[in-house]
Amino acid sequence: PQISTRQAQTKVNLLEGQTLVIGGLLQQRDIRNLQKIPILGDLPLVGALFRFYTETRQNTNLVIAITPHVVPAPANPAGATSP
C-alpha cells in the first residue's frame, strides 16, 4: 500500500463539544501504468505494438473534523499519593 502524508498547522480555541473543520488539503497525483499482452509485449522490436500506457490524474480533497471533549481525571489515580 502507498502512504502519503499531508500537513496542516493551526491554532484555535474551542469550547467543549465545539467542532473544528479543516479543509482544503488538496492532492493531485498523475499515474502512468504499462499494459501489455503477455509474452508479445516483451518481444524486441515488435513488442511495442502489443503494449500501451494509460495515464490517469487523481485529485483528492481531505476534510478533517475535530471535536474536543474534556476527560475528567479520576478522583484518586492508581499509585498517586497525597502530599
Mean pLDDT throughout 15-37? 92
pTM of the model: 0.53
* Rounded Cα distance, 22 and 13, in Å: 14
pLDDT at 37: 93
pLDDT exceeds 90 at position 7: no
